[in-house]
Amino acid sequence: MKNKILKNIEWGILVSCVILLIIGGVALFSATQESNYGELKRQILWIAVSIPVMIICIFVNYETIAKLSPFLYALFIVLLIGVLFTDPVNGATSWYEITDNINFQPSEFAKVFVVIFFAYIITKIQKKNSLDINKPTRLGLLLLIVAVPVILIIKQPDYGTALAYLISIVLMLFVAGIDKKYIIVSLLLIAVALPLLYNFVLPEHAKERIEIFLNPNLDPRGAGYNIIQSKLAIGSGQLFGMGLLKGNQTQLGFLYPKTTDFIFSLIGEEMGFVVAAAVIILYVILITKAVYVSKTSKDDLGSYIAMGIVGIFLFYMIENIGMTMGLLPITGVPLPFVSYGGSSLITNFVCIGLLLNISGRRQKAIFAD
């Protein structure tokens, strides 16, 4: 059975991740030289922890994981409630502190189990109701499943992670055959709700981020400082970069936080357009391969899970790279496999393990002409 799984696995996904890890490791080496490479060492430790987790996710049948998903979903809902009562870090209650250097972020792990549970419930509904998820009561149940964790994450507040959930769910519903009328109505509601949310719901710091995104020079020494420095870093790298350990914004302390949110800026400055473009190409390959896994899955459950993971990677890639270039508002989301972070790294490896799991269990007939 293991040989069959290994034979069918979409190895391009794993290769893309390994190359991204290497680029991220080089970037962290440059970013952490003044701190005795502390975050780089911890990142290597997290990689060592993540690899066996990924292997388990490859070989434990995803159908078995899906059957356990209701319990895992419930567990993480409890954790998401509990984290709201922890001490704020940088204005957000998103982490449980394990030790001085190790924090646990339940919203990162929860998004995987929300995706699996959501896919599991869709397949249960379709089996009982002749592929129909479009009845208002059934669709309402599905939306409630994702609404609970999203609301709890917004309460932290962590708008970036909440958006990642929503993008994943939208893609999964699209693949599951949601009626076009719901899509049209949703778009109309969003168009009406956005100005109302902006004026009456969004907190001041979120409004400030949007205003600074539109014009960073409104507060160049305050709220607009990070994005201005990020754009300067990426622009100064030109084609081949200023050289490792030689970036002005990176090494002189103007770029912050350079190991997480703005690590792509470091890559652009010190390694140049060539490596920065290669990073984007690697993500495109990873996401394209993941979409192919969804299309060729042996069943709907695998297809929906794979598409949910596509949504996660797609959002994080576009949002992180977009915000460092000034194309999107800053939300503080990491760049998968490149940014420093234990919770996000383990979660990303779990996602890769699930993709390889689903691809490894495809039917041979799928590859026939």
Task: Please write the tens of the pLDDT for every residue from 236-273.
Answer: 999 999 999 999 999 998 988 999 999 999 999 999 99
| pLDDT score at 297 | 93
Backbone angles phi, psi at 89, to 5 degrees: -125, 120
Task: Please write the tens of the pLDDT for every residue from 297-307.
Answer: 999 999 999 99
SS3 readout for the chain: CHHHHHHHCCHHHHHHHHHHHHHHHHHHHHHCHHHCCHHHHHHHHHHHHHHHHHHHHHHCCHHHHHHHHHHHHHHHHHHHHHHCCCCCECCECCCEECCCCCEECHHHHHHHHHHHHHHHHHHHHHHHCCCCCCCHHHHHHHHHHHHHHHHHHHCCCCHHHHHHHHHHHHHHHHHHCCCHHHHHHHHHHHHHHHHHHHHHCCCHHHHHHHHHHHCHHHCCCCCCHHHHHHHHHHHHHCCCCCCCCCCHHHHCCCCCCCCCCCHHHHHHHHHHHHHHHHHHHHHHHHHHHHHHHHHHCCCHHHHHHHHHHHHHHHHHHHHHHHHHCCCCCCCCCCCCCCCCCHHHHHHHHHHHHHHHHHHHCCCHHHHCC
Task: Please write the tens of the pLDDT for every residue from 302-353.
Answer: 999 999 999 999 999 999 999 999 999 888 899 999 999 899 999 999 999 9
Over residues 109-131, mean pLDDT: 88
pLDDT higher than threshold 50 for residue 368? no
Angle among Cα 97, 100, 101 to the nearest 5 degrees reads: 95
- Report how far residue 279's alpha carbon sits from residue 250's, in angstroms, rounded to the nearest whole number: 19
pLDDT higher than threshold 50 for residue 64? yes
| pLDDT score at 366 | 39
Cβ contact 306:66 at 8 Å: no
pLDDT higher than threshold 90 for residue 211? no
- Report how far residue 235's alpha carbon sits from residue 123's, in angstroms, rounded to the nearest whole number: 48
pLDDT higher than threshold 80 for residue 363? no
pLDDT higher than threshold 70 for residue 19? yes
Mean pLDDT for the chain overall: 89
Cβ contact 329:207 at 8 Å: no
Over residues 75-101, mean pLDDT: 87
- Report how far residue 298's alpha carbon sits from residue 295's, in angstroms, rounded to the nearest whole number: 9
pLDDT higher than threshold 70 for residue 130? no
> What's the farthest any 2 CA atoms get from each other in the chain?
62
Q: Which residues of 60-69 are buried (b: 16+ CB within 10 A; e: fewer)?
A: eebeebbeeb
Q: Around 38, how many Cα atoms within 13 Å sit in the side-chain half-sphere?
A: 5
pLDDT higher than threshold 50 for residue 367? no
| pLDDT score at 191 | 82
| pLDDT score at 220 | 82
Cβ contact 151:171 at 8 Å: no
Q: Grade residue 89 by pLDDT with cuts at 50, 70 and 90.
A: confident
366 or 254, greater pLDDT: 254
Residues comprising the chain, all counted: 369
pLDDT higher than threshold 90 for residue 203? no
- Report how far residue 179's alpha carbon sits from residue 328's, in angstroms, rounded to the nearest whole number: 30
Task: Please write the tens of the pLDDT for every residue from 37-55.
Answer: 889 999 999 999 999 999 9
Over residues 66-92, mean pLDDT: 91
Over residues 12-30, mean pLDDT: 96
Cis peptide before 136 (omega within 30 of 0): no
Task: Please write the tens of the pLDDT for every residue from 132-167.
Answer: 788 888 889 999 999 999 999 999 888 889 999 999
Cβ contact 253:266 at 8 Å: no
pLDDT higher than threshold 70 for residue 23? yes
Over residues 87-111, mean pLDDT: 84
Measure the CA dihedral 176/178/184/187, to 10°: -50
Over residues 80-103, mean pLDDT: 84
pLDDT higher than threshold 90 for residue 200? no
CA 258 to chain centre: 18
2 or 130, greater pLDDT: 2
State the angle between helix axes of 263-296 and 300-324 in degrees (0 to 180), rounded to the nearest 10. 160
| pLDDT score at 123 | 93
- Report how far residue 241's alpha carbon sits from residue 273's, in angstroms, rounded to the nearest whole number: 7
